[in-house]
Chain A
Amino acid sequence: MLSLKRRLSSQLRSSCIFNLSNMVDRVGVFKAVNQAVSWPLQLRVLAAFSASSASVCREPGAESLIGTGVGKMIHSLFLINCSGDIFLEKHWKSVVSQSVCDYFFEAQEKAADVENVPPVISTPHHYLISIYRDKLFFVSVIQTEVPPLFVIEFLHRVADTFQDYFGECSEAAIKDNVVIVYELLEEMLDNGFPLATESNILKELIKPPTILRSVVNSITGSSNVGDTLPTGQLSNIPWRRAGVKYTNNEAYFDVVEEIDAIIDKSGSTVFAEIQGVIDACIKLSGMPDLSLSFMNPRLLDDVSFHPCIRFKRWESERVLSFIPPDGNFRLISYRVSSQNLVAIPVYVKHSISFKENSSCGRFDITIGPKQNMGKTIEGITVTVHMPKVVLNMNLTSTQGSYTFDPVTKVLTWDVGKITPQKLPSLKGLVNLQSGAPKPEENPSLNIQFKIQQLAISGLKVNRLDMYGEKYKPFKGVKYVTKAGKFQVRT
């Protein structure tokens, strides 16, 4: 029974049945039901059947929504830079004119700030779903009802892949590798339908550019296109290629926690939670089967898993058991929100005031350590969006350096690390536009910091065991805590 269930969990055979449900052929589907052996599969066929019968019985065109809607996901993709140039387009079905982006530009204009462009825009004939990543807009054109999350996830996956391949996701990098980009996009979507999105597999089909390789290529005339089939696709574990070999077998885990918090004027916590991830770098030969256990797994009650993890095992024993993909990947992400568990490692003393009918104000902030578990807090940066009427700031800092950009009104103070003996502070005068009314609101402070060798939630890895292979791997776990969206209201 367990194995049957697992087979369903691993999404067996979805695409073929999926195709069947597109094709309104009831008898055929019935036959498929009879052929299917496992009950979860039957269930799926049945579901597909009831979908197709619905399309027969109810209204014309229903099948187009039920079936092909997901099939034809993304029609076209446009990449647009910050100055509004469309610098790359890719069409999966037929060419859609660039002019469709005018609706996007319109929305952009309305939004005032680039980050505020709504992600879903409807136009008379299409929908535009976009993401904003690394100062680039990825604008996809779709024509049928599709799950927008699906498209957004996909777009982020595309951006991730560029990042992965070229080291950065920028206009220059994309232009420099335009042919690879084009090949990648074609491989990731077939006819608008996601095909290969695992970086493992993509990298075998299309090799990432390296300096060495491009030199070799130009000498030997070989290319970046893999001339063998992706072998991993032949294994029963779709996320891992077969025949992996390393001389040094290593498994490293990074536990990274970010604290999202809103602290109010008086210093009390309005809201705080921890967003954690465990990223893995696994370079192990063969087919290793790993289990990772924690000292305090009960902390993890809200978790998202990489598909390689056996969910049942987690449910019953609270152990992460998996056959890992090869290379870097995100094993889990989790959230700890219970108020008492979220320690706030820094405090800020602040006094920001603007005088009525005068063109100046006072600014004074000091940062100190709070619940830092005895570790050093480093990499502190404070960013403040000052009100529009602020012309300039005249400050002195006891530590680090500050900059104020009079155009964007952003004050950035690069503090460095806190030494408890001498708390860093920044104070001085604020010059306001004369005659303008004093600002109603005080700005929020955005704080960045980093604590090495600490997972602020207290999460600790207990042990890592490997089965299925004989060699002894090097193992390692690193912890780091950072500020996520950490805001102090003043």
Chain B
Amino acid sequence: MTDSKYFTTTKKGEIFELKAELNSDKKEKKKEAVKKVIASMTVGKDVSALFPDVVNCMQTDNLELKKLVYLYLMNYAKSQPDMAIMAVNTFVKDCEDPNPLIRALAVRTMGCIRVDKITEYLCEPLRKCLKDEDPYVRKTAAVCVAKLHDINAQLVEDQGFLDTLKDLISDSNPMVSHCHPPWDVSLSFLFAPLERMDPSICEQVTPRLSHANSAVVLSAVKVLMKFMEMLSKDLDYYGTLLKKLAPPLVTLLSAEPELQYVALRNINLIVQKRPEILKHEMKVFFVKYNDPIYVKLEKLDIMIRLASQANIAQVLAELKEYATEVDVDFVRKAVRAIGRCAIKVEQSAERCVSTLLDLIQTKVNYVVQEAIVVIKDIFRKYPNKYESVIATLCENLDSLDEPEARAAMIWIVGEYAERIDNADELLESFLEGFHDESTQVQLQLLTAIVKLFLKKPTETQELVQQVLSLATQDSDNPDLRDRGYIYWRLLSTDPVAAKEVVLAEKPLISEETDLIEPTLLDELICYIGTLASVYHKPPSAFVEGGRGVVHKSLPPRTASNESTESPETAPAGAPPGEQPDVIPAQGDLLGDLLNLDLGPPVSGPPLATSSVQMGAVDLLGGGLDSLIGGTNFVAPPTASVPANLGAPIGSGLSDLFDLTSGVGTLSGSYVAPRAVWLPAMKAKGLEISGTFTRQVGSISMDLQLTNKALQVMTDFAIQFNRNSFSLAPTAPLQVHAPLSPNQTVEISLPLSTVGSVMKMEPLNNLQVAVKNNIDVFYFSTLYPLHILFVEDGKMDRQMFLATWKDIPNENEAQFQIRDCPLNAEAASSKLQSSNIFTIAKRNVEGQDMLYQSLKLTNGIWVLAELRIQPGNPSCTVRLSLKCRAPEVSQHVYQAYETILKN
């Protein structure tokens, strides 16, 4: 007889039957019935209706039955809080049972029942169990304190459980103080925040590299990675550590595929930070044909990162092997990888190109397309070197059906138009279906034809006119139109200048691609082993509920190292952050126009990338009219831009449209009229009304105290409860003279934001206690969020763009503000005086779009897009907010509304 029999009763009336069985007199039958209930529970059936009947079975001396009932309770208590209370007495009684197992079970179950009412009953038994004679019970109780803290932190502190817990630390039995032998990941987690690390810690941590639990190994790796950041590279110890790190990382790759995957994602970070650790271990990343695809793709990525002149032959042979595999995604990535090798290791470029040509000969459609895309990159890295292959490429023109491949091919044709006899025919063939092409291809085609025209003006006049009119007159795409107009204007006003602009020499692309931006990388290194390291995103980008996050960063390096780095220890590729030949200087508008919709092989710090994207997307660039209005936009950007202290030099043309007014930062934020917070009848005659202000960077609470009682009031004091934004008074409440009846006094109480934090509901709730000689009174009030908007909340526009993109769309919140008759200018200046800064403005189809940023006192940035439609009779303003902590959005919206309407 097995437990599967418990699943068999699936006919109607099952619950009814179970009910009868549960109430049976026979112990055995009862037990069987509870088992059936548990079995139904495990398959997700709702058996909560049986709650009272199951609870009735609790009164038993049969341990197994009791345990089963407890299992049931843990599952359903939350949905049946009132019923759960019924069981409390039994719990309390069981906590005193002579059998320690039952005591432990009872206290543990009570902790799991997440019902507020129960927690009150829990305290006494828990206190007893923490001091139980049996260590097993003490251990269970200690864990229970943690659970309770989850439910009600305040209670845990009030009840003094912390102190009891501290006593347990010195518990005589190691079982209590040492709960989870194999699960000591907490190790690094605890070590991690240490500001100054001691080499002796390393000695303690290195044995963990040999731990059987991979999570522990990875945590140890993290600690050592952080430690190495502070070590000088010429120390012998540094080398020793490097050697010690490689084997455990490699060993992780022999584990189950799921573990391998997580390990590989982390190794990807480690290799970017310190390629020298694994530089000799290339082979372990070779792909086995039956690896799951997610492991294959990660391995490939790491192989390319580790590729160097020393191992390139091996790597290429492998990649070629992979390019004939079955899995399409993997094959594509392998082909792309060959191109990346060519770009990374110059000596191998020739071999890579010939490998790619071999692959093109296979005529496998997706291989050919992928190969063309990477060959384009190779051309950009080594111009005028491999043009002999163009003929082969052109043969495959018809088979290209993916936008990226088409765009790449068009770029190649345009770039080398003078060497391709029938370039005009080729391009013309693309032009036929111009409107069906993707934007990427359209932009590329436009540029290519203009290039062709500049190179062979006589034969191609008609073609260029055709494409310009297609782009400017028949297209709905603003980017395409803008680019079309620019070319048109250029060509018609000054063909020589046009030549200089369009056919300018392009910067070389850099060798490393897809690098994680260095500051993010440093942050991610601190999160090795966590979800963040799997997603390669900081926790703030995805942790549920927009909790604020401590941004970790690596400790600063000690001096005297980087410069003395010896060539042997230098990483194979250029280390992130110091590439010599990164492309576009920020704001290099020319580069942008010419090439950059071709996408990814751009590296360097994120600012560069974002400026590049800005060129293409032109979100903030101000629009076409103003651009053409500018007389000499080819001139170096700095010359035409007045020095702007805030913005980084070189942000280029975009600065022309910068809206900084530079004034208004000193005036205070909007102040709401006073409201009554504490009516006299609730506070024995004391009436408190008040409001919050922010002026020149300081927040204060303006209070008006009125004595409506018949006696004199003295000895005032005020205290805040912990709150979401750490608001706390910085000075005592000073009422100089006693407050006589009917007298009113006004006080401005300065506030700081360095108090302790507790998340409130709603977020901007503030609980205040005021004391006087009569009594203590409590009230709570909501403070407007704009008092927390700090003065340096103006984000750099490129930062803005990057951040806007970086914040996931789920975090975007849309609001409408009705009856707001302001125009953009007025709104902008109004908002600015409350520290909401306009970063850019543009006009789209009659709507004014304001891009704004603000920063809260705790460092949370909020990005906003404000859409104002001047002619709109309903005067509705649309607001979209993006923030990593989306729960503030609602309150920021309210702040907007208040500010705009007053």
Contacts and interface: CB of A to CB of B under 8 A. Distances in A.
B63 interface: yes
Interface string B261-297: 1110000000000000000000110101110111000
Contacts of A197: 180, 182-183
A95 B165 contact: no
Given A119-B294, A302-B251, A182 B38 contact: yes
Give the secondary structure class of A's interface. mixed
Interface stretch (A86-94, A418-426, A455-463): A86-94
Interface stretch (A41-49, A359-367, A368-376, A464-472): A41-49
A413 B41 CA distance: 45
Contacts of A152: 214, 256, 258-259, 262
Most buried by B among A143, A175, A333: A175
Interface in B90-132: 99-101, 108, 111-112, 114
Nearest to B758: A60
Contacts of B135: 233-234
B550 A59 contact: yes
A131 B259 CA distance: 9
B146 A59 contact: no
Contact-residue size bin, chain B (C-beta under 8 Å from the other chain)? 35 or more
B199 interface: no
B43 A88 contact: yes
A56 B258 contact: no
B183 A23 contact: no
B20 interface: no
Given A25-B162, A179-B35, A58 B4 contact: no
A225 B35 CA distance: 13
A145 B64 contact: no
B212 A307 contact: yes
B44 A59 contact: no
Interface in A406-426: none
A182 B71 CA distance: 8
Contacts of B212: 304-307, 330, 333
Given A17-B169, A22-B149, A335-B247, A60 B259 contact: no
Contacts of B325: 441
Given A15-B180, A120-B261, A175-B4, A270 B286 contact: yes
A62 B169 contact: no
A98 B758 CA distance: 33
Contact of A304 (B4, B174, B210, B290): B210
Contact of A68 (B150, B204, B284, B529): B150
A70 B142 contact: no
Contacts, number: 395
A187 B727 CA distance: 43
A302 B74 CA distance: 44
A113 to B, nearest CB: 8
Contacts of A234: 135, 173, 175
Contacts of B712: none
Contacts of A233: 135-136, 175
Interface string B1-17: 11110110000000000
B194 interface: yes
A273 B162 contact: no
A14 B184 contact: yes
Contacts of B559: none
A70 B189 contact: yes
B757 A15 contact: no
A218 interface: yes
A62 B256 contact: no
A399 interface: no
Contact of A178 (B38, B173, B261): B38
B178 A28 contact: no
B28 A194 contact: no
B248 interface: yes
A381 interface: no
A14 B184 CA distance: 8
B257 interface: yes
Interface string A182-203: 1100100011011101100000
A40 B178 CA distance: 14
Given A19-B145, A440-B362, A446 B177 contact: no
Nearest to B214: A149
A395 B78 CA distance: 64
A298 interface: no
Given A20-B166, A35-B170, A88-B42, A302 B35 contact: no
Interface stretch (A2-10, A245-253, A286-294): A2-10
B530 A485 contact: no
Given A16-B168, A19-B145, A485-B288, A150 B215 contact: yes
A251 B534 CA distance: 42
Interface stretch (B485-493, B540-548, B632-640, B838-846): B540-548
A116 B298 CA distance: 13
Contacts of A487: 288-290
B201 A43 contact: yes
Contacts of A193: 143, 146
Given A127-B531, A234-B173, A307 B258 contact: no
Contacts of B193: 47, 50-51, 54
B326 interface: yes
Nearest to B112: A191
Contacts of B75: 91, 95
Contacts of B261: 118-120
Given A9-B207, A58-B858, A98-B44, A19 B142 contact: yes
A176 B2 contact: yes
Interface in B544-560: 544-545, 547-550
Contacts of B286: 262, 270-271
A177 B2 contact: yes
A54 B192 CA distance: 12
20 contacts: A16-B168, A19-B146, A65-B547, A66-B550, A71-B146, A98-B44, A113-B293, A116-B294, A145-B530, A147-B529, A148-B534, A149-B529, A179-B68, A191-B147, A238-B174, A238-B175, A270-B286, A304-B210, A387-B326, A489-B321
Given A149-B262, A195-B180, 9 more contacts: A15-B178, A17-B190, A119-B258, A150-B185, A156-B256, A176-B2, A194-B180, A305-B211, A444-B289
